[in-house]
Amino acid sequence: MSCRSLYRLALLAGAMGVSPVVHAQSLSTEDIAALRAEIAALRAQVQALESRVGQAEAASAVQVPAQTPVSAQQAEAAPVPAAAPATPKMEVAWKSAPQIRQGGWSFKPKGRMQFDSVLVDAPDSIDDKGLGMATEVRRLRLGGEGTLPGNFGYKLEVELSDNKVDLVDSYISWKSDRFTVRLGNQNQFQSLDELIGDTTGTVMERAAFTDAFNFERRLGIAAEWQKGPFIVQTGLFADDVNAHSATNGDETNSYGVDGRIVFAPKIGNTQLHFGASGHWRDLNSIASAGVRYRQRPFSHATDTRFMDTGIFVANSETHYGLEFAAVRGRWHAAAETHWLTADRIGGANPTFFGGYAEVGYYLTAGDTRVYKNGVFDRSPPKNPVDKGGIGSVQLTLRYDYLDLSDQDIRGGTQKGYIGGLVWSPINYLRFNLNYAHLDYRDVPLYAGNSNDYGVDVVGLRAEFDY
């Protein structure tokens, strides 16, 4: 007898409340007939219940496919799912300001403040209210710089100077091991003194020829190559992006080519620098407005120019310069010469000349002037005041010469004797005290009946950058 038959018999017996073993002799004919009828009804109910149970089992059954055995070789060859790339960790460092880096991205805010107090002592016979004592916010600069994935980088800075806001270093760059390419507003490799940062020079103002020859940032594309002690820099530049002025209007369509070569060997403990630069600029429509070369008396706080060629018309400018520098321990020396020739319209072509020579010495032990990438860089004090020291103290003497007289143009000559004392209590903060005696000859600004005289300048600058 099958399990299903036993199951049915048990159900019937339970339903009747009797044992499955019954003696037929104890039942009458009527009882047997009634029992059969009742069994038939119960059988019908059991079949209906079995049908419902079968349907429920079929609906809830889970079909599990048979698995094929996997060999060890197949298990080893099976690909392992790649793990999701981890998000680069964000790193924050401090370098006079927070520097944030995550993967190939980075950002660092930049800025600087320079406050000047200057006395320009000229002959009393010069009636100019712009001379004498003056104070000035020399520069307020804000911006930022950083890197992008793929060796790209960027820099953006704006500056408040001369009561107006100018765009200064603002470009996109790409860099490899030896090459750097920059596209945007930038310097043109015109001079060692011009390329040194505003807050890393030894005296308050750059050499007179850098301003007189109108060195400035311009919009362009530049490339730089470095290998060992050699640096080669070149670029193609348009006009200054801030040159939309009353003089030039919207006709800022000059362009030029600039180049600079540096050889910077290190012999023992002495770092040497030899450089040369060449420049040519087509003035284009600026020629109709004319060019002008002039210079202030070692102070940006006054607009008075003792030296001035006046405005004359020229098609182009060609100029070139030579550079020398050396650093050994506390000592440093630097010198430059620069010539500019204007291709004049309707007259002989004048050539103007400028140059300087300086020597500097740190009075504090352990300090030295830092040289990096073809220029002088920031020099952190060896013993800053927050470490119990007095910071660094540097003394510099400079001779600054400028000649703006040639052919029939008489812009005058200047011999400048300058002394500078720079105290850096901590890195990024400096106080710069300067004295300059300027000896002028044949200048267009007369003092009474004479255009040969001397001017004394005393200046103090407080500066902080980050």
Q: How many other CB atoms sit within 10 Å of the CB of residue 400?
A: 24
What SS3 class is residue 161?
A: strand
What SS3 class is residue 40?
A: helix
For 354-393, the DSSP string reads: EEEEEEEEESSTT----EETTEE-----SS-GGGTS--EE
What token pair was written down for 418? 């300058």
Confidence at residue 81, expressed as pLDDT on a 0 to 100 scale? 65
Which residue positions in the chain have pLDDT lower than 50? 1-25, 62-66, 245-247
Helix, strand, coil percentages in the chain from 3-state DSSP, rounded to 5: 15, 50, 35
What SS3 class is residue 51?
A: helix
322-356 in b/e form (b: 16+ CB < 10 A) is ebebbbeebebbbbbbbbbbbbbeeeeebebbbbb
For residues 336 and 163, the answer to whether their CB atoms sit within 8 Å is: no
Give all strands (DSSP E) within 149-204, no chain letters.
152-161, 164-175, 179-186
Query: Which of 429, 431, 423, 430 is CA-nearest to residue 460?
Result: 431
In terms of residues, how long is the chain?
466
What SS3 class is residue 16?
A: helix
Confidence at residue 14, expressed as pLDDT on a 0 to 100 scale? 47
Q: CA Rg, the chain, in Å? A: 45
Confidence at residue 37, expressed as pLDDT on a 0 to 100 scale? 76
Q: How far is CA 328 from CA 179, 263, 267, 324, 415, in A?
A: 29, 17, 10, 14, 28
Which phi and psi angles does 344 have, rounded to 5°? -80, 150
**Residues whose CB is less than 8 angstroms from the CB of residue 267 and which lie 6 or more positions away in sequence, other chains included:** none
What SS3 class is residue 145?
A: strand
**Residues whose CB is less than 8 angstroms from the CB of residue 115 and which lie 6 or more positions away in sequence, other chains included:** 135, 136, 137, 138, 461, 462, 463
| Residues forming beta bridges with residue 173, ordered by sequence position | 153, 182
Q: How many other CB atoms sit within 10 Å of the CB of residue 54?
A: 10
Q: How far is CA 247 from CA 243, 244, 250, 426, 447, in A?
A: 9, 8, 9, 43, 29
Q: How many other CB atoms sit within 10 Å of the CB of residue 243?
A: 18
For residues 277 and 256, the answer to whether their CB atoms sit within 8 Å is: no
**Residues whose CB is less than 8 angstroms from the CB of residue 387 and which lie 6 or more positions away in sequence, other chains included:** none
Confidence at residue 274, expressed as pLDDT on a 0 to 100 scale? 98
What token pair was written down for 31? 């009882």
pLDDT, one tens digit per residue, over 396-415 is 999 999 999 999 999 999 99
Confidence at residue 18, expressed as pLDDT on a 0 to 100 scale? 43
Query: What is the rounded distance in angstroms from the CA atom of residue 443 to the CA atom of residue 422?
Result: 31
pLDDT, one tens digit per residue, over 296-305 is 999 999 999 9
CA torsion sign, 383 to 433 to 362 to 229? positive
Q: Does domain 93-465 have CATH number 2.40.160.10?
A: yes
Confidence at residue 47, expressed as pLDDT on a 0 to 100 scale? 76
Packing angle between helix 3-16 and helix 29-60, nearest 10 degrees?
Answer: 130
Q: How far is CA 80 from CA 71, 72, 76, 83, 294, in A?
A: 16, 15, 9, 9, 74
